[in-house]
Amino acid sequence: MQTLVRRIPVGKQVMDAILELVRSTRPGAVGDELDSLINWGPGPRASQALMVTSRARALLRGRLEPSVDDVLALAEPVLQHRMQLSLIALTQEQRITVRDVIAARKKRLG
């Protein structure tokens, strides 16, 4: 199954969504108020993990190609432990979490 999952083709739209999402969760990538709250973000292996899990999810659902919806559905579990917020984010009155940042970045994709 692992070999099959890795052989599933990934379309350009899905690859672009993965790259945009992962890059947008790095400090200074977007230029909005959340950027200053990200201490460090996911690296290249996060993109690889998101691609493999998106392929697996598609296969488990009977599809031979992942969609952007697969990427969005798996973004939080794949990315949340691969980033850290700044002390400012943790001490604000309305505490911002890693999940909040990922949710905001997912909205940018659709």
Domains located in the chain, CATH noted: 2-109 (1.10.8.80)
Q: Residue 11 phi/psi, 5° resolution?
A: -70, 160
At 92 the pLDDT is: 74
- In order along its 110 residues, the chain shows pLDDT tens digits of 899 999 999 999 999 999 999 999 999 899 998 898 999 999 999 999 999 999 999 999 999 999 999 999 999 999 999 999 998 887 877 788 999 999 999 998 87
pLDDT of residue 89: 85
Instruction: Kindly report the number of other CB atoms within 10 A of residue 71's CB atom.
Output: 27
| pTM of this structure | 0.91
Q: Which residues pair with 84 in a beta bridge?
A: 40
